A and B are shown apart, each in its own frame.
Chain A
Amino acid sequence: MRSLLLGFALVVATAACDGTEDADGARGSCASGGALSGCADSPATPEGACWRLVECGSLPVDAAGDGDRDWGRCVGALEGLPTGRAELVIACIASSTCDELLAPGSPHPWEWPACFAYGDQ
């Protein structure tokens, strides 16, 4: 399946955030356990890949600390990658199991998942 995101995603409000705690977000159907739960394909876009990381419990929707890894920084990081590298990192996230997407410290990680290492030279 081929997916392309042409649009945008915009954080409009942070009403539920008090600024001191991470907003973790809801998990997907395959966030824990194995293939029995089933998992839908994530769109092959920076936004879709980062939603998959949130649904897998790899990172929060919104981290309280400035610079902490969360959905917004994930999108920014993927969008900043050169073409070729970004596509492969996104495909890696889409095809990995949720537990393989966990990074050190997840769900409040201090590193990106291993898929981000591709092309990091």
Chain B
Amino acid sequence: MRRLTYLLAAALAAAAAPALAQPADVPTLIQLIDKQPAGVDRPTWKEQRRDAARKLAASGDKRAVPTLIKLADAEAFDVIGEIAIEGLGALGDKSAVPTLEKIAADSSRDRQQRDLAKKALAKLGAPATPPPPPPPPPDDRPPPPPPPDRDVPPPDDGAGTGAAIAPPDGVPDLLGTRTPAPPATDRFAPDVLAQSEQLTFAVGAASLGYDSVRDRTAFDLDASGRYARWIDRDKTAWGAEAGARVVGGYLNPEGPARSRAVIVDVDAGGQFRAYAGPGVYGIGRAVIAGQLQYLSVIRDDPMDTYKEGRTAADLGVAIGGGYGRVIDRGPRLRVRQLEALLEAGRALGRPIDDDLAAKLQSAWWDTRRDRTGFRQLAATVAILREAGVLLGEPDAATTFGLIEVLRDPSYDHRPDGIDVSLQIGEEYLLREDEPAVPEGRTELVLVTATAARQLGLASEAIAHVDARYRILADDGVPAPWRVGADATWRHFVHAAHGELVGAFDVGARLAASDDDRDDTDLGVAIGGTAGWTWVFNRASSVRAAADVTLDAGELFLGARITGSYGFLDAGFARR
């Protein structure tokens, strides 16, 4: 009974504690905010700081003002910043006015923080907008130098709304510095469904050597570059790409023998689609390609030399119609993964809707040419905080996850949809210096079909069919045809904290063709492949694969390792 009485008394004492609370120990609270106590982990300290800030705000003690000013100014992502802003209004010290005015006018700050700053200013009797600066004194001093150039996001480049979007002054990033950030707006016009851009440079081989034993110099180079861009809109779609490849070699052994080779390929192409009705479209395509090939072989016998230069040019146009559309959903899947990450970390304040997804992708698009992902991360955090999606300052695990999602290449090139087209093509082939090769006009029918399905965030299935048939050939001129089909299933594998490890893929292919010649047979080939791809960055990877092919009755088993390195890969998908 006595023990029960003690417990009851203790409970009553605890309930009465707030009424009997002592005045806040301001120096101790300030110290707690400024320095993480030993033995306290960071999340716990963060909570203790917030609690200390609340107590300082309610203390009525002017000694708390400098600390709260510092918090209000620096803590743009944590709720402690909002506590400090409110506290400055409650403490009534005018020295906080400049800081509060700056926050209220900073468009890159969280809207709630700006509103709280305006309320605090009202409590202090100050206007929300600072008065204009006084005119400069009439002296002979030279004007101050302009601020250093900032890396302002590129202006709208045709696909967007065209609205002039002024970049904010800067977003306080995770390290506390202020970095210019992309605007938190949807830069894409409402009818833009998807957009992508790729730029790749590749060096297949490059070597220069001198063999002192055989007195032999050898040089070879195989380098190429390609740029591609595609935009899908409600009623139209268009894309363009261009590429170049240079192959060169020089071999100079001892003696008169010498070989030189130069091959230069250039090509460019474009496609335009006009959609009429649900999925039905008309299509127009054009391609142009040219090649210069020079080969010089000087043998030991000066009479036995080989020199040949060839030029080739292709000009082709095609028109036709089709149904459907295949869209790269990768960027939208990236947003979904971002949402899943925050939800798993219990940091998701509300779901990410299409409008917010478009804002995020706009920021990513504007930073796609950055060498590092710093601005992309800063803008993503700012947008998520502004929208109330990201609750509080992201902890280490969430920040790591955000970085991994933003640079995860498994969300590039994730096609989805069905597309079937039939085209009639007209080509003109110029093959100068090569009389054995047919040139002139060629007409053909082209059929292409793609069915792609994204099976959640980590898997996809894609199938292609293509067919061509030469038509309107002159009598005696072969009219070859070919039909090909392939299908691939791919599964992306991530580690525990969201980092992409690689992808496993399984595919099958089938091809049939006929040269329409008496001396060749119908060709039929079937094959399959299984591979694993290690991924290093958004555009670079190494793939190991095993292949099996049955072609004209011959069975081939093979294995290969393929590597590629890229520089830029970006996209947008509204849904």
Contact = CB atoms under 8 A, between A and B. Distances in A.
Interface in B495-542: 511-513, 515, 517, 519-521, 523-525
Given A36-B425, A118-B261, A12 B555 contact: yes
Interface string A5-36: 11111111111110001011111110111111
Nearest to B256: A121
Contacts of B553: 13-17, 23
Nearest to B511: A26
B99 interface: no
B554 A11 contact: yes
A66 interface: no
B202 A96 contact: no
A49 B466 CA distance: 22
Given A26-B552, A88-B220, A96 B263 contact: yes
- How many chain B residues sit at the interface, stated as a range, is 35 or more
B209 A84 contact: yes
A83 B165 CA distance: 56
B295 A118 contact: yes
B218 A6 contact: no
Nearest to A86: B220
Given A25-B525, A45-B560, A31 B551 contact: no
Interface in A71-109: 71, 84-85, 87-88, 91-92, 94-97, 99-100, 102, 104, 107-108
Interface string A36-58: 11000001110100000010010
B560 A36 contact: no
Contacts of A99: 312, 429, 431, 434, 437-438
A3 B563 contact: yes
Given A1-B202, A3-B562, A43-B562, 9 more contacts: A10-B558, A21-B521, A24-B515, A27-B515, A34-B316, A61-B551, A88-B249, A91-B205, A118-B251
Interface of A: 1-17, 21, 23-29, 31-37, 43-45, 47, 54, 57, 60-62, 71, 84-85, 87-88, 91-92, 94-97, 99-100, 102, 104, 107-108, 114-115, 117-121
14 contacts: A1-B200, A3-B562, A5-B558, A6-B559, A9-B558, A24-B523, A54-B551, A85-B259, A87-B249, A91-B220, A102-B436, A117-B295, A117-B297, A118-B297
